[in-house]
Amino acid sequence: MIPYLISKRIDNVAYELELPQELAAVNPVFHISMLKKCMGDPSLIIPTENIEIKDSLSYEEIPVQILDRQVRKLRTKEVALVKIL
């Protein structure tokens, strides 16, 4: 993710960003409590040009690889947990 310019300071803890047109559906106002330090791993970066967003703002994820699988037992049923890449 690239840095974006701050267009306006809303108050002490909220800022409005200048986002590009392709991010027009994203709310440009961010509260600083929502921000986290990014410890980026370049191998995990997905290019945004290849993501097609539908009108309902949803997208289809295509799993690449199953990393881990567990079955958790609840009181009356079992739930499968699958970690995918």
Write the DSSP string, 23-51: GTTS--EEEGGG-------GGG---GGGP
pLDDT in 10s for each residue of the chain, 85 residues: 678 899 999 988 999 999 988 888 889 998 988 888 777 787 877 777 777 777 888 777 788 899 999 999 999 999 999 998 8
In whole angstroms, give the CA distance from residue 17 to residue 7: 5
Give the three-state DSSP class for 79: strand
pLDDT at 1: 62
What are 65's two structure tokens? 């690889």
In whole angstroms, give the CA distance from residue 58 to residue 60: 7
